[in-house]
Amino acid sequence: MDSVRKARSRLRMYPQLLAKCSESAGVYAKCVTQNSSVKKDDCLKEFENFKTCLIKASKDLKTKM
């Protein structure tokens, strides 16, 4: 059950990850909600910035995504 313990530990870190990336998350959310019919790659730049932030934050917190 070690894998379950590790997964729970990672999930407990998600609020901290999102808090560190709240600005880029907001920009991405704003892009997605501006249009009622979002198509693939409409907000690709914003998503990539958010993803990069999450990866950096997870490295800073020494956790996996």
Is residue 51 within 8 Å of residue 18, measured between CB atoms?
Answer: no
* Contact call for residues 21 and 53 (beta carbons, < 8 A): yes
Name the residue ranges covered by the structural domains of the chain. 2-60
pLDDT tens-digit profile, the chain (65 residues): 888 998 898 888 899 999 999 999 999 999 999 988 889 999 999 999 999 999 999 999 888 87
CA pair distance 52, 39, nearest whole angstrom: 21
Q: Are 38 and 27 in contact (CB under 8 A)?
A: no
43 and 28 Cβ atoms separated by less than 8 Å: yes
pLDDT score, position 63: 84
